[in-house]
Amino acid sequence: MKRWFMAIWLAATMLPAASQDLSNIRGTAPFRITGSFGTYNTFYTGSNTFNYRNPWSNNVFANLNLSVYGMEIPLSFYFSNNNRGFNHPFAQFGMSPRYKALQLHLGYRNMNFSPYTFSNITFLGAGLDFNWKVVRLAFFGGSLNQPNMAQVSTGLDPVRPTLFKRNAYGVKLGVGNTRNYFDVILFNARDDSTSINAMQYPHLKPRENLIAGTSFRFSLGRRLVISSNLGASAYNDNMRSTSMDVAELQGFDKYFSARYGTVLRYAGDIRANLSFNKVQTMFQYRLIQPDYYSLGTTYMTNNLQSLSMNVNTMMLKNRLIAGLAFHYQTDNVSKTQLFTSTGMIYNANLTARLSDKLNVTATYNGFNQQQSDGTAQVIDSLRIHRLMHNINLSPSYNFLKGNLVHGISASLNTSINSNQNKLTNDPSDITVMAANLSYSLGFNQQKMNLMLNLNHQNSSSAFYDFSSSGVGLGVGKKLLPKDQLNLQLNGDVKLSQVNDLTRNLSYMTGVNMGYTYQKNHTAFVRLNYNHINNYHLQGLYSLNGSDMTVAFGYTYRFSPQRQRREKEEQTQQTEN
């Protein structure tokens, strides 16, 4: 780890002198802090039927930004005694100090190079971003995860798999700015095979990955933008395999060891955005070869290609907003799968502002899934061909009458999932219909609001018929001269039934109280109680259960204006 910090330090000291410009330091506030810190805690209790959580959960967090003579130093901290995160331990700390063109990343941090190299993965180590004039430089080094010693010692952990310690580094070098740029990227990750006992866990294999990539964006005038991301990956799923020579990897021996089972693959996309006045369009093509892997990204589906298009426009003085979208995707790019799956997603949406009080939104979503031959021929009676439709209509009407603010909104939704292969004996068609009606009434002078909600849903297929109806009530009130205290009460009752056999009656009540002091201090207490009664209509069984959750927390927000005012008051007192 020390060598990564040394590399960052040397790189920072060798940057052009422009990043060390201190000419404006005299007119800059010497110290300023913004952000917040606080705690969030919950207590849970329930009957045996619903007691599925730990009784206590405590969280402490801080997201701060320190400014020292213009140098920005973001700090973040998070601790939880009930964390079930995938990659990292319970407590994390990191900071990203910035000064003009230079930003450092220390501790637990995130950086983004490109979607096929390094993206959305937290590392523990050090990194930097330097963007000065047309120079674009980024670098990081550290570990992507630590071995899960709890599972190594016990052999049991259903949430987090055993992982080797994974060391990684990445470099991004480019030219340009945020509007036009071209970057070259190199990423390397290697598991530490000694971090887990190989004799005790012989089935665990250390992995290795080397990726070279590019990323660019070019604006051709004001209307057309072309962007692309490419990645070429060399991947070993077992570093203990026998070494071998691979012509394509000659010259990279110091960074990657080719072995039996090494996979060389590439992935990429290209995108075009075109704008004409109030019309915006987008076209994108994407290809990911089979067995393309990156240890620097979250899970990525491979062996596919896709084409996406959408168009959006505003008309009639922005009173009408319309959009169309289409996405086509197929797998089996390698032509080695038994079967090929193809999916098409299409969407249409329309929002109309009919008046200052009345708005209507209509949305349609469709999905078509088909299966075709690959290396094997699909049996007609087993061929997958499904079609799904979803239509939603949502009108809303809001108006002011005297001291009262009225709001009425509704939502009508229907969804159909049908089997289009008439040769199959698969009665799995599903139809869902749902309706929701809400009314809110606000009292401006009393700083109070009331809410009523009615909802109904019906879902039917060849195997079951499900129906559900519910009603919800809520009331909110602001108290104290400056509205520091906010009270909310709500309740919900729902009755559902399945196949005229079982019936379920449930209700929920909740209380929420929040208090704010001087805009910096915020505290809250929430209580929720749920009860469910499920019984068979012929009296075969009855199931009752309840649970209760109490949450409370506190947040302090730093205010630069308040800090300046207090500083001025202290200065005046000193002068007097």
SS3 sequence of 447-515: CEEEEEEEEEEEEECCCCEEEEEEEEEEEEEEECCCCCEEEEEEEEEEEEEECCCEEEEEEEEEEEEEE
526 within some domain: no
Percent of the chain with pLDDT over 70: 86
For residues 24-38, give the mean pLDDT.
75
Q: Do the bridges between strand 448-460 and strand 71-80 make them parallel or antiparallel, or are there none, so unpaired?
A: unpaired
Containing structural domain, residue 195: 1-12+83-275
Using the predicted structure, report yes or no on whether residue 24 has a pLDDT greater than 60: no
95 within some domain: yes
Using the predicted structure, report yes or no on whether residue 134 has a pLDDT greater than 50: yes
Residue identified by tokens 């005012």 is: 565
For residues 200-213, give the mean pLDDT.
89
| CA 59 and chain centroid, separation | 20
* Mean model confidence pLDDT for the chain: 86
Using the predicted structure, report yes or no on whether residue 157 has a pLDDT greater than 80: no
User: In this predicted model, what pLDDT tens digit does every residue of 446-499 receive, in sequence order?
Assistant: 999 999 999 999 999 988 899 999 999 999 999 998 899 999 999 999 999 998
| CA 507 and chain centroid, separation | 31
228 within some domain: yes
pLDDT of residue 560: 65
148 within some domain: yes
pLDDT of residue 14: 38
Per-residue pLDDT band for 161 (boundaries 50, 70, 90) equals low
Using the predicted structure, report yes or no on whether residue 249 has a pLDDT greater than 70: yes
Residues 272, 283: contact at Cβ < 8 Å?
yes
pLDDT of residue 32: 84
| CA 102 and chain centroid, separation | 27
Asked which of 3-17, 72-86, 388-402, 524-538 is least confident by mean pLDDT, the reply is: 3-17
225 within some domain: yes
Using the predicted structure, report yes or no on whether residue 49 has a pLDDT greater than 70: no
Asked which of 38-47, 238-247, 549-558 is least confident by mean pLDDT, the reply is: 238-247
For residues 383-412, give the mean pLDDT.
96
Q: Number of folded domains in the chain? A: 1
Using the predicted structure, report yes or no on whether residue 509 has a pLDDT greater than 90: yes
pLDDT of residue 132: 93
Cα–Cα distance list, 292 to 20, 74, 210, 365, 425 (Å): 42, 35, 11, 31, 37
271 within some domain: yes
Using the predicted structure, report yes or no on whether residue 562 has a pLDDT greater than 70: no
Residues 287, 268: contact at Cβ < 8 Å?
yes
pLDDT of residue 150: 46
User: In this predicted model, what pLDDT tens digit does every residue of 88-120 receive, in sequence order?
Assistant: 435 678 888 888 899 999 998 999 999 999 998
196 within some domain: yes
Using the predicted structure, report yes or no on whether residue 410 has a pLDDT greater than 60: yes
More confident residue, 148 or 548: 548
Q: Give pTM, 2 decimals.
A: 0.80
